[in-house]
Amino acid sequence: MSLKIEFVHNYTDLCTDKGFQFEFCCNRCGTGYRTRFVPSATGTISGVLDAANSLFGGVFNSAADLGSRVHSAAWERAHDDAFIKAVTELKPDFIQCPRCQSWVCRSKCWNTKKGLCKECAPDLGVEMAAAQAAKSVEEVWAHAAMAEEDKHLSTEDWREGIRASCPECETPLATNAKFCPNCGAKLKVALHCTECGGKLTPGAKFCPDCGNKVIQ
């Protein structure tokens, strides 16, 4: 058996003198796995000696000391064996990214197609969905920041067209006004069919209500 023990930094040692237990977690999402608690035989012996020493007023004091010393060496060996077993048991659930060297869980944080962790090679579908959601949020905020007058523009307003300047005095128009603020000229002229009186849109060649030809 090799004297070297392979280990990783993404684990927590939960061992006590009563037994052995370890936790391993993903460096990316934090998902973890814990080994089942394995009682320590040396810890049990030490506990029995301590209890006996207490009951018999120190008669077994030297035995308890000896037990502690034996327990220390034996416990360390058992601890090493338990750790090697834990690594062997849980290592298949994790994989090390060759790019960033992080240990990640295979179930959630490993991109099998790319052979990299999802921090280095994210799922494109997830990223596209996130980008679309972010864009939607931007559009919501952009709409909320629109001028109040623009929010109330109807479809008909857009079809009629919004003038940038007065056709009479050519004064620039800052808002969707009905009359020129400089000369008072009427900016919106309602067009109606001469046959049925239906409302016409600018540039219409025929009335949408009766089909009468519009005389330009």
**Residue 178: what pLDDT?**
79
The model's confidence at residue 204, banded by pLDDT at 50, 70 and 90, is confident
pLDDT in tens, 146-166: 666 566 655 555 555 567 788
Does the pLDDT of residue 6 top 90, yes or no? no
Of 39, 48, 45, 35, residue with least CA distance to 72: 45
DSSP state of 194: T
pTM, full prediction: 0.51
Of 96, 77, 78, residue with least CA distance to 8: 96
CA 180, CA 25: separation in Å to the nearest integer? Answer: 70
- Diameter of the chain by CA atoms? 123
DSSP character string of 20-61: E-EEEE-TTT--EEEPPPEE-HHHHHHHHHHHHHHHTTTTTH
DSSP state of 152: T
Give the CA angle between residues 146, 151, 154 to the nearest 5°: 145
**Residue 126: what pLDDT?**
86
Cα→Cα distances 102→9, 39, 79, 110, Å = 10, 32, 25, 11
